């Protein structure tokens, strides 16, 4: 097992403790289990026994069919509290798409997210620690994601932009404006 996976899991535990999601006893027990884990599967088991950093939809509210959100023309932006079905399709014929998943409820531990725009960029803001797997993408890709925490949620992405770029990032990881030599900050 890679040591960086163990370090990411330990950092996740410290964040849960700092947020008040676990007490000192649970922190101590879980740290001991993280250090004793001999495989990523064992490490994932420890992480999965802890509170999720992402809200999970209650069983009775989970969507039975794929969620489909479509915008013909214009920018499509989803942020704040919203629900991701196990399979979610988001599309815009003409216009950029921005999806902020930091407060979204996930219907399952594995989400298949399909995003399409004919003309425009796609920006997805992914909560820290969530694993992202690119199943397919078309268009330029700019990913600024940190490695995931083993055992947390998996987001499988199928992304298409015919004219535009795909941007994957964590909250607060905004693109910095380019500064030309001699330019002043306004």
Q: Looking at the structure, do residues 97 and 164 belong to the same domain, yes or no?
A: yes
89 part of a folded domain: yes
pLDDT digits over 1-12, tens only? Answer: 678 899 999 999
* 32/68 same-domain check: no
Q: Which domain holds residue 30?
A: 3-48
Residues 151-163 have pLDDT tens digits of 899 999 999 999 8
155 with 70, same domain? yes
Residue at 54 is within a domain: no
Count: domains in the chain: 2
Across the strands, what pairs with 169?
A: 125, 144
Please write down the long-range contacts of 140-146, taking CB distance under 8 Å and 24 or more positions apart.
140/164, 140/165, 140/166, 141/165, 141/166, 141/168, 142/166, 142/167, 142/168, 143/167, 143/168, 143/169, 144/168, 144/169, 144/170, 144/173, 145/169, 145/170, 146/170
Residue 185 has pLDDT above 50, yes or no: no
């Amino acid at each position: 097992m890679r040591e960086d996976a163990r370090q990411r899991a330990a950092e996740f535990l410290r964040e849960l403790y700092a947020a008040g999601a676990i007490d000192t006893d649970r922190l101590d027990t879980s740290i001991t289990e993280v250090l004793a884990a001999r495989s990523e599967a064992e490490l994932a088991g420890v992480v999965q026994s802890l509170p999720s950093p992402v809200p999970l939809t209650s069983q009775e509210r989970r969507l039975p069919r794929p969620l489909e959100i479509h915008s013909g023309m214009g920018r499509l932006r989803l942020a704040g509290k919203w629900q991701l079905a196990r399979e979610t399709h988001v599309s815009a014929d003409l216009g950029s798409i921005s999806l902020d998943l930091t407060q979204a409820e996930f219907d399952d531990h594995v989400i298949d997210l399909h995003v399409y725009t004919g003309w425009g960029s796609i920006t997805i803001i992914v909560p820290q620690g969530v694993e992202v797997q690119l199943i397919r993408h078309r268009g330029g890709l700019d990913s600024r994601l940190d490695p995931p925490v083993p055992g947390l949620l998996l987001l499988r992405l199928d992304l298409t932009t015919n004219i535009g770029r795909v941007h994957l990032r964590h909250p607060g990881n905004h693109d910095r404006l380019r500064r030309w030599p001699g330019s002043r900050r306004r």
